Every structure is written in C-alpha cells, then in structure tokens.
Structure 1
Amino acid sequence: MNLTRIQAIFMKDYKEFSRNYAVSTMVLLPLIMAFFYNQTGVDSMQGYFLPINLAFVAVTSFVQCCLIAEEKERNTLRSLMLSPATLFDILLGKSLLVFSISFVTILLSIYIVGYNPANWLIIGIVLFLSAVFYIGLGTLCALFTKTILEASVAILPIMLIFSFGPFAILLSEKYPIMQLAEWLPSAQIVLLAESIEQAYTASDILVPIITLLVWSIIIWAFTIVLYKKRMVD
C-alpha cells in the first residue's frame, strides 16, 4: 500500500467531483428528503431509513459509478491501471472520497430526519458494511459501461432494485414473492434497526451483519475480477 499514490488518486477524484455539478448535487437529494420526512413527523423505521438508503444509492453508488465512468471515457483509468499503483491502491484511492462524502451525508440525514438509534455501535457497523457494498456496486457498474452517460443510465435500475427492500417488507404479506427482497441490504438494515429498539437476540443482530458482509464480499469479488479483465482488454 502506497499512501502517496492513494492520496494522489483521492485528490484527483475530489477535483473531478467538485467540477461536475451534475454528480456533486446528488448529495442534496437525501438531505432534502430527510428534511421533508422530518417536517411530516415520520415515526416509522422505514421512514427514518428512506433518506439513509437513498444516500447509499444516490450518493455512494451513483457518484462512485459516475466518477469511474468519467475516467474511462477520458481513457485516464487505463493509464492508472497500467501505472505502478497496485490494485489495492487504486480501488482504495477511488473509494475514499465517496466513502467520506457518504459518511457525512448519512450522518446529516440521520440528524435531520430525527433518528436516534438505541445502539449507535451496531448501527455504525451495518452502515459501514453497507457503504462498502454500495461502493463496490457503483464500481462494478462503472466497469461494465464505457461512458458517463451509459453509467448514469445503467445505475438507475440497480438503484431502484436495491432501494426497494424496505417497501418489499410491507408488501410481503400480500405478495409472498416479495419476501425474497427482505435479504437486500437496504431491508436488512431496517430489520436490524427495528430489532435493537426492543428486546433482541444475538441472531437478530448477527444475521443482518453476516448478510451485509456476504453481499460485500460477492460484489467486490466480481469487481476485482472485472477490473483485472479490463486491464488486459
């Protein structure tokens, strides 16, 4: 791991992010929704986590996808792949900015919407694992596309699917097939958050955490494989 290279990649992404207003303004979406839900007096866990899950898909995945796709479009990502920087240096450097922005956005959304979890440590763990997953999702989507326009379109259905989990919980009684969506990361966070607000067992905590960990491992395994494939295309 080379900290100098990671910092250089981080600063390069920061400059691209600050110049691209179409991408940087996505940070405002979850904050606006959190403010709206706060004004309507939301008191359900689905309502609390709607802006949080929106931050994951609209900020974490979308911004990561667009930043990498923009580098592919300009052919600067290939130069970075062929540079002395290692795979870990590049992926960590490309993820740090989005992780930092997501962290701040999610904390602000939690504060604005008025959510006060019973256990901050457990919520912090699942939010961290979720961020790792959604960064990997955005990276994977960007590697599949060639331009920032393609990436912006391709990430939309993925964002819709992975933000649908909490709503599927409400529909699962009427449509049993919807029970499958309860295993989506967005739904697992809500289920865990509901559990810690009352008497809970170890399985109530471990199952969502392990589920998020498995999702993260799978998505990053595909991302690394595709990344190495793009190096020799």
Structure 2
Amino acid sequence: MNVSLKRIQAILIKDYKEFSRNYAISVMTLFPLFFAVLYRSDDAEQAVMYAFIMNFSLAMLTSFVQSCLIAEEKERNTLRSLMMTPASMLDVLIGKSSLVFIISAAVLALATYIFGYDTSNMIVLVAALGISILLYTAIGTICGLYSKSLIEASLATFPVLIIFTMGPFALAFEEDYPFLKVLAYLPSSQLSELLIAIEVGATASETVMPLVIISIWTVVLTVISFILYKKRLMDY
C-alpha cells in the first residue's frame, strides 16, 4: 500500500484548521496543564500522581480529540468523500492521527515540565508515553468510526476515561475482590507501574515487560482500527 506524504500533509493541515476552529475540542489541551498545576508536588507520591495525570490526559485529550475529529467528519459526510479519494487507508489514518500525536506529545511534555517530574531514565519515559499516545489515538479512532456525531463520540470516550484512568486505583481493592487483578494488565496500569518502577530506580530489564504489554495493546487496537476503517469503506 503506497503512502503519500503530500496527502498526509494535506489531511494534517485540514484537521489542524478544523481543530483550531472548534473550541469545544481544542479546549481539551488545557486540562492536562490544569491538573499538572493542581497536583504538583515533591512528596513520595509524586510518581503516582504523575501517572494519574498522564493516564487522564491520554484518555481526555488524545482519545477524545481523535474521536471527535473523526466523528465530526462523519457527521458532515466529509469522511465519506475522503474515503473515496485516491488517498490510501494509511494516508487517511496517518494523516488524521498525526495532528493528535503532535498535540498530545507537546501538551504532555509541557505538563511534565509544569508538574516538575524528573527521572533518570528519560528514554524509557519518552518511549512509554510515545507508545501510549499511539495506543490512545487508536482507541479514539475506533470510537470515532463507531460514532455518528460529536455527541456520540463524547459518550463513546467516556468509558475509556473512567476505566483507563481509574483502573490503576481500583487495584488497591484486589485483595478483597480478586477479579480486579485483571485491571493490572490495562495499559494505564502498566504505565503507572512503569513510572513507579523508574522512580525507585528499577533496572532497564524490569521496565521491559510494561513496555511490551503497552505495545501489544497498541498493535492490537491499531489493527482493529484499520479493520473497522475498511469495513466503513465497504459500507459506503
């Protein structure tokens, strides 16, 4: 499948214009910064709070914005027109994901700076957040393709916000409710575990498994988003 950089760039610019005009979507960039200021601290729980801010931001910003941008196009029937152009599936999905990736990376980096989080293993941190952005972008794509309007997209991403953000905290009750142990395999739980491990000086080998699990989630959900896009294309 051919990938055209010009087509990807055109889709990216188009999405940027739509994003900048829609304040209901663009305002989401402020939430991670607000929470970074609100929960900024230097105590022993810094890694836990930082993990919460990152997980919340990924769900609230990355998934929500991606979902709304796609749903908005479906609502106006412009996604159908885009599907019928010579642009390949990869052109469309990469183009529509690039803006969200750039915005998410910039906002998360700024939130990290405001929060004052520092780590001796910056490479692992950047890798974990980069993979997580791809993961939540895929989730947003799936939610957007299943939604017919902005309102439906907002409702579709709400369970993502609740489950992926609160999942790591629910593990505190796993002794009383053993079935909650499955939440440990959520990408948000693995990201929290990774950040806490880095905080206590874990070795590189001890950070591999969380990265592998997050990567598996990313690959699986990305493949699902591709399959769903193809299905929508065939429906047209």
Residues 161-170 or 8-17, more deviating? 161-170
Instruction: Give the count of matched residue pairs.
Output: 232
Q: Distance in 2 between matches of 1:155 and 1:54?
A: 12
**Partner in structure 2 of residue 148 of structure 1:** 150
Which of 88, 91, 94 is the equivalent residue of 2:90?
A: 88
Q: Within the alignment, does 1:21 sit opposite 2:7 as a pair?
A: no
| 1:65-104 equivalences in 2 (<5 Å) | 65-104=67-106
Which of 161, 164, 180 matches 1:162?
Answer: 164
What TM-score comes out, normalization by structure 2 length?
A: 0.94
Q: Are 1:46 and 1:166, in contact at CA under 8 Å, matched by a contact in 2?
A: no
- 2-structure distance, mates of 1:149, 1:60: 17
Instruction: Tell me the distance in 2 between the aligned counterparts of 1:228 and 1:35.
Output: 42
| Aligned mates of 1:25, 1:42 — CA distance in 2 | 30
> Residue type matched to 1:119 in 2?
N
Unaligned 5+ residue runs, structure 2? none
1:172 to 2:174 alignment: yes
Write the distance in 1 (CA, Å) between the matches of 2:99 and 2:139.
15
Q: CA deviation at 1:42?
A: 5.1
- For residue 134 of structure 2, what is the amino acid of its counterpart? V
Compared CA separation, residues 205 and 112, structure 1 to 2 (3 A) = same
Stretch deviating more after TM superposition (158-167 or 101-110): 158-167
Using the alignment, how far apart are the partners of 1:222 and 1:210 within structure 2?
A: 18
Aligned amino acid, residue 154 of structure 1: A
Match of 1:204 among 183, 203, 206: 206
Q: Does 1:10 align with 2:12?
A: yes
Mapped partners of 2:231, 2:172: distance in 1: 40
Change (3 A) 1:71 1:191: same
Counterpart residue type for residue 184 of structure 1 = L
Displacement of 1:173: 3.4
| Structure 2 CA distance for aligned equivalents of residues 73 and 160 of structure 1 | 25
- The sequence identity of aligned pairs, in percent, is 45
Q: Relative to 1, partners in 2 of residues 1:42 and 1:23: Cα closer, same or farther, differing over 3 Å?
A: farther
Deviations 1:37-92 (A, max 9, x none): 01x65541221122211110111000000000000000000111110001111111
Q: Say whether the 8 Å CA contact 2:48–2:196 is kept in structure 1.
A: no
Give the gaps of 5 or more residues in structure 1: none
